[in-house]
Amino acid sequence: MRVLPKANEQCWCGSGKKFKRCHRLATTPVKPGKISSLRPIPDSIAKPSWADGGRLERWDEPRVKSPDVIERMRRTGRDAADTLAMLGALCQPGVTTEAIDVACHDEAVRRGAYPSPLEYPGGSGAPPYPKSLCTSVNEVICHGIPDDRPLVDGDIVNLDVTLYKEGVHGDTNATFYVGQVDEESKRLVTVTRDCLLRGIEAAKPGRRFNEIGRAIQDHAEGHGFGVVRDFVGHGIGEQFHTDLQICHYYRPGQTDVIEPGMTFTIEPMITAGTWEPRMWSDGWTAVTADRGRTAQFEHTILITDDGAEILTTPGDTATHPFWTL
């Protein structure tokens, strides 16, 4: 295990610079940009309750899904994964996060799906989410709102796609490289991908849910990285987020057991420095408190009789970073 220096200690690389100015690599801080107006969804698309100014409906959804719901989740999951892989090709220097959002929005509609984030209600006084995609650059942990900031050579950007189609949601994300990315950021991204893989491998029927977080935390901290606590994976199906919470760190008290037929997300957010977040005043964007970089990968999975099936598997895994990094 590699122990990283504290922010103000000398970098391990021998440059003589402070760690936070060298391999912590928080480059130029990301600042809030201009957010364009709401892009409509045609009435021909089936919409969740929160679309068009509606409220979030909540009901008691069974954790173990019917074969019919599972079949639909496989199809919607694939649509989300294919959309994510397509959007990855747009992560180039000079492309704004807004342009990637528009591509996501239009691809969702082309596939007959509603982009689930659009108008999703916020917690504690936050306005509804104004875009169809979450774009989280560098030190943004999650829920970055697409705006007029062009991607810069050396950035890492997470795209989080959720689609609603056939009455069910598919939720998946990946972190992409923009141009030439430094080795330390690449290490952060590949370790994060491996954290998701290890979390999925720990998700087996008969085991406790907290084994997922234990596997993820062991791997991340073994590489000197932090695990975000304030955002968790979640049950998913006919609702975007159900009450089921999947922690990405070890919580000894979570003793409930994983069962075949359950569907939920695993979506570890891993940090180069501190895992503690700060919120922007937009009510959505979470950044690391020290502005160190952070990466995330997410899949929606189904628990099978002997393991887990990734429902957000694209038709072509050869163009998807989870399978190719």
Interface with ligand MF3 includes 143 (CB under 6 A)? Answer: yes
Q: Are 13 and 2 in contact (CB under 8 A)?
A: no
Indicate left, alpha or beta for 166 from its phi (over 0: left) and psi (-120 to 50: alpha): left
Query: Which of 116/210 has CB closer to ligand MF3?
Result: 116
Q: Which of residues 149-168 bind ligand MF3 (CB under 6 A)?
A: 160, 162
DSSP state string for 272-296: SS---EEE-TTSS-EEETT---EEE
CB of 42 to Co ion, least distance (A): 24
Residue 291 contacts which entry, ligand MF3, Co ion, none (Cβ below 5-8 A, type-dependent) = none
Degrees (nearest 5) of the Cα angle 296, 129, 63? 65
Interface with ligand MF3 includes 84 (CB under 6 A)? Answer: no
Interface with ligand MF3 includes 267 (CB under 6 A)? Answer: yes
Interface with ligand MF3 includes 129 (CB under 6 A)? Answer: yes
Neighbours of 7 (CB within 10 A): 16
Residue 117 contacts which entry, ligand MF3, Co ion, none (Cβ below 5-8 A, type-dependent) = ligand MF3
CB of 262 to ligand MF3, least distance (A): 17
Query: Which of 134/151 has CB closer to ligand MF3?
Result: 134
Interface with Co ion includes 160 (CB under 5 A)? Answer: yes
CB of 236 to ligand MF3, least distance (A): 8
Residue 132 contacts which entry, Co ion, ligand MF3, none (Cβ below 5-8 A, type-dependent) = none
CA distance linking residue 286 with residue 94, whole number of Å: 23
Q: What would the two tokens of residue 247 be?
A: 């922690």
CB of 72 to ligand MF3, least distance (A): 18
Q: What would the two tokens of residue 283 be?
A: 């009510």
Q: Is 140 exposed, middle or buried (0-12, 13-18, 19+ CB in 10 A)?
A: buried
Q: Are 325 and 189 in contact (CB under 8 A)?
A: yes
- Applying CB under 6 A, the residues found at the interface with ligand MF3 are 117, 120, 129, 134, 143, 160, 162, 171, 234, 265, 267, 284, 298
